Structure 1
Amino acid sequence: MIRCIAVDDEKPAMDLLADNIGRVPFLQLVGKCRNTAEAYECMRNEQVDLVFLDIQMPGITGMDWLKSLPTLPMVILITAYEQYAVEGFAVGVTDYLVKPVPFDRFLKACHKAHEIFLQKKNSIPPLPNPVSRDFMFVHVEYRQVRVNFSDVVMVEGMKDYVKIHLDGLRPILTRMSMKAIEEKLPESIFQRIHKSYIVSVPRIREIKKGLALIGEHEVPVSDHYKEKLEERLGL
């Protein structure tokens, strides 16, 4: 299933786009965004494989927003303007649709994205490099603070910040997205179990009714991450 978001500031266009997405069996709409700021927030908190994006919107345009992203998901541009096609493909978009979009053309673009998605999913990933260090540094009030992975109990997302809960030490609050800190933490130890929580798997003491007991903390386990967690714990 391809998890996607729709980004368009016009409600009629958004409603039509959401309806078209709902007609494609391998797409799951996980967010409807009125602008690129909402889209960015959604991508911080959700796994997003594909973005359906309008170009002309208030504030930063869809094209400028794409150029600002450090990594680009699959993107299908949907716009009333033909002149951005060359620029769009130069940026690396999957397809470019001009409004009004016939459903058969929309479906063709979705199948193109599906093929790319399956190729990535079925490719054999390289063996992960062993963790070369057992710590990271995070920015806290104009200084860089060392955090040992062995001390981390869990990480809690708090809008533009994350709170790193440590064993026997005061929590650390740093301005960082959940996605960014997830990339810093070794997968061999940590796992995301909710859009707002990453936990140290060896510290999980109990699982019950959608909750994980980590130390003295009861942390929610969302349905999206439940299967992977149970598989890892051998449940």
Structure 2
Amino acid sequence: MTGVALAEELLLLAYDDETGKATMPRISLDLGMAAAVLIELALAGRIVYSEGSLVVVDSTPTGEPLVDGVLARIAADTPHSPSSWVQRLRHGLRDRILGDLCAQGVVRDVDETELGFIHVHRYPTVDPEVEADTRRRLAEALADGQLPDERTAALATLVAVLRMEPALGLTGDAARDARRRLEEIAGGAGFSGNVSLDDSVVRPSVGLVVAALGRAVDAALGPRP
């Protein structure tokens, strides 16, 4: 694996650069983190979706400790559904990924005390380049009308499933237009069942995992307002 992990990209989108606070519900973000790590394993060719479960097909480590820990956990366990895995994995992932981003110098940990004893952590941005690249790729995907690469398509699908349009700085008609385009990307990639995976530029093995995880997260979040 190379470059920035999907979970890191999602996290940077979800946190305000200046205040360092999450701009979306924590449960949504935690479910998204879990789904992103699982999609990372699919992109790396380590897991597939088969007969309702996520299954390891290659246990070779990717070189990323957090992702490899999840890979080892799936390999050592009995098969479970995508819904089960996102619930099993969501606890503690955000803190680990934030810690990794702090270690990389992308964000910093501001530890504050409220009411004299409650510790509150904020994570303002230090190096904006990583998030800027993520936002650039998403903006190009929204404006281009063409299907982006499978990693960007997977990220766009997660943004749509997690209802993160406000994190893109969009409201009103712009947010609604972005949602339609994000859903077009997901459909065009074969993630939402609108296009046959045989006709998609995305590998079928990846498409099946993303589609299954998208359904699992969407169901866990419940009906849209």
- The TM-score with structure 1 as length reference comes to 0.29
Task: Work out which structure has the larger RCO, using CA pairs closer than 8 Å and 6 or more positions apart in sequence.
Answer: 2
**If each structure's helix is expressed as a fraction of its own residues, which one has the higher value?**
2
Larger Rg: 1
